[in-house]
Structure 1
Amino acid sequence: MNIPYAVGLDIGGTHITAAVINIKEMKVMDFSLNKESFDSNLPVDQVMKIWKKAIATAIEKSKVTAMTGLAVCMPGPFDYQKGICWIKDQSKYEHFYGLNIRDLLLEHLDLSGDFPVLFENDAVCFGKGEVFKDQENLSRKVMAVTLGTGLGACFIDKGISVAGGECVPEDGEIYNLPYKQGMAEDYVSVRGLLSHYHALSGTKLANGLELYNRAVEGDVIAVNVFEEMGENLAAIVIPWLEKFGADRFIIGGKIANASEFFLPVFNKKIEEASSTITVCVSTDNEAAALLGAASMLYKS
């Protein structure tokens, strides 16, 4: 029997990661993972050339010739059924608003109109991927978050994403929950971290890596900024962990790499809330997101 393979794509504001997935065994093919960094505010044609290169390189490195579909994890706002991008005023994909990404991919990859191209929210892909990586999670209620340029979240009950009902916030999103003087993402995101550091130190940093490096070097203000983010994250998610009845809370995204600075404070708040939930930090964000995307084809 032929083994079905798909191309998984993890598309962010500053990168695209592509890999070929064996969707029978749900694993990333050896050596196929390929990542390209880029400015998503470039003109559409230039961005699509970068995406095409990432996909072509992944396929070439995998040595696989036949693909059964393309599975894409994409940040919102996005119409995941129709493939239309509604990202606006987020300092990313400024030229993609209202465009059909499915059609763009089919056109630039020279694929037929009926070739399967499926989309899912990037945080949901991450959460589903973590569930598939640990089969025991298929019997659990899992809440997962991605901490990066934005604050993504998903709620998964026995392998199925839950985005409605009284036990989860609207659309399963937490980034826009009212919090302090704004919304959750204003405080738990790279933007929030850099803004807080600037307010306390008077210094503007270019990115989250600079802030992390300062914390590693012993910058007290940088460490405090991460710790306060841990407190904020706990305050935002604990009510929903309780409402959803989550067994496990999984943290992913670029900021997860700085967990040494925010996780102790977060765990302390979890303990103070008398919660027995298991808290985990993902050890492989990219593989999880790609597997989660491919799971759409696995189920179909």
Structure 2
Amino acid sequence: MIDNLILGADIGGSHITTGVINPKLNCLVSDSIYRLPIDSKSNAENILDLWSEAIHVQLVKYSQIDQIALAMPGPFDYQIGVSLIQDQGKYLSLYGMNIKQYLAKRLALNSENIVFVNDAVSFLSGEIYAGKAKSGKSIIALTLGTGLGAAEHKNGLTRDIALWQESFRGFKAEHFFSTRWFIERFNQITGGKVDHVKALLEVKDQQVCIDIFEEFADNLCEFLTGWIGDSEFDSLVLGGNISKSSNLFLPKLEQGLSQNGVHLDTWVSDLGEEALLIGAVYNGIISKESKELKND
């Protein structure tokens, strides 16, 4: 049994969130969330200073922590800890950097105690471990935000399926299923300008907002129908900031999928980013150490 508390971190396109996981109780320690906004287009020094701060605050408060699991968007070499993010409109300044070695030195930690897990895999693992996905046998998870994350759970294995790079209408799928698409689409339709989805939700002409989200639903339905095909999935779980506006696109998405013969139990995560924190720790540390104990 793992006795010490473990730190989980969610690296998003606009933030870092850290939270402390109690492995004995399989839950987040109350009031342990710490969040900082991040300009992911900033230079490496600024970004890594804020990541280090968000982690260091927790290490000071919870001195018994000596392991960290970070939910990280791809592409990323998760084993070595090197960022390969290059064309996703975020964290370009970190390309080629060994983040594991940097954090280990900066925080005076053993690099072996810092692990990285794909963010979509972390999200789905958290949903399976502590959320609604416990009973699902064949599940897809999508994280909709500054990028498109995707993972699947089949035959007891949870893995990244990298749908962001699949071709869709002559582009990579992420072009249509990320914050950038909403911003660009609003600008194309109105000639105006918004900087993020939250601003889109606040525009005076709400019909424009509704129309854009319904177009998003149609696009996602077309993409998922083509990708799923005859595959036997029983569930779809959504996370990420865009999913917080699911009332504007989920009913149309579900209707479209059903009309195309794709029948999924679909829901938006109640855990939100907590699923990422729990899932990163579970997938990156707890499950691996549990297997090691069984093999000893």
**What TM-score do the two structures reach when normalised by structure 2?**
0.90
> Percent sequence identity over matched residues?
31
Aligned-pair CA distance for 1:202? 1.0
CA distance in 2, matches of 1:15, 1:146: 15
Aligned-pair CA distance for 1:249? 0.2
Cα pair 1:24 1:298 within 8 Å, conserved: no
Q: Which segment is superposed worse, 51-60 or 133-142?
A: 133-142
Cα pair 2:131 2:271 within 8 Å, conserved: no
CA distance in 2, matches of 1:187, 1:174: 12
Q: How big is the alpha-carbon RMSD for the aligned residues of Structure 1 and Structure 2?
A: 1.9
Provide the secondary structure at the position in 2 that maps to 1:95: helix
Aligned-pair CA distance for 1:208? 1.0
Structure-2 residue corresponding to 1:53? 53
Structure-1 residue corresponding to 2:293? none
CA distance in 2, matches of 1:24, 1:135: 20
Structure-2 residue corresponding to 1:274? 261
Change (3 A) 1:233 1:2: closer
Structure-2 residue corresponding to 1:129? 126
Structure-2 residue corresponding to 1:79? 77
Provide the secondary structure at the position in 2 that maps to 1:232: helix
Change (3 A) 1:212 1:92: same
CA distance in 2, matches of 1:135, 1:278: 11
**Aligned partner of 2:273 among 272, 280, 286:** 286
- The CA deviation string for residues 69-125 of structure 1, in whole angstroms up to 9 with x for no partner, is 110111111101111001113332222110111001101111134x41111111111
Structure-1 residue corresponding to 2:197? 208
Q: Which segment is superposed worse, 72-81 or 33-42?
A: 33-42
- The CA deviation string for residues 8-30 of structure 1, in whole angstroms up to 9 with x for no partner, is 01002221000111123321111
Tell me, yes or no, if structure 1 residue 145 matches structure 2 residue 142.
yes
CA distance in 2, matches of 1:286, 1:90: 20
Structure-2 residue corresponding to 1:169? none
Change (3 A) 1:243 1:98: farther
Cα pair 2:121 2:158 within 8 Å, conserved: yes
CA distance in 1, matches of 2:99, 2:277: 18
Aligned-pair CA distance for 1:183? 2.4
Q: Which segment is superposed worse, 67-76 or 236-245?
A: 236-245
Q: Which segment is superposed worse, 52-61 or 247-256?
A: 52-61
Which sections of structure 2, spanning at least 5 residues, go unmatched? 289-296
Which aligned runs of 4 or more in structure 1 are off by greater than 6 angstroms? none
Cα pair 1:23 1:297 within 8 Å, conserved: no
Change (3 A) 1:139 1:191: closer
- The CA deviation string for residues 225-269 of structure 1, in whole angstroms up to 9 with x for no partner, is 111101111111224444441111001110001111111110111
Aligned-pair CA distance for 1:36? 0.2
Structure-1 residue corresponding to 2:285? 297
Change (3 A) 1:153 1:136: closer
Structure-2 residue corresponding to 1:23? 23
Structure-1 residue corresponding to 2:68? 70
**Aligned partner of 1:259 among 246, 259, 267:** 246
CA distance in 1, matches of 2:2, 2:121: 29
Change (3 A) 1:55 1:131: same
CA distance in 1, matches of 2:107, 2:36: 17
Cα pair 1:177 1:183 within 8 Å, conserved: yes
Provide the secondary structure at the position in 1 that maps to 2:249: helix
Change (3 A) 1:9 1:219: same
Structure-1 residue corresponding to 2:151? 154
**What TM-score do the two structures reach when normalised by structure 1?**
0.89
Structure-2 residue corresponding to 1:179? 168
1:283 is matched by which residue type in structure 2? D
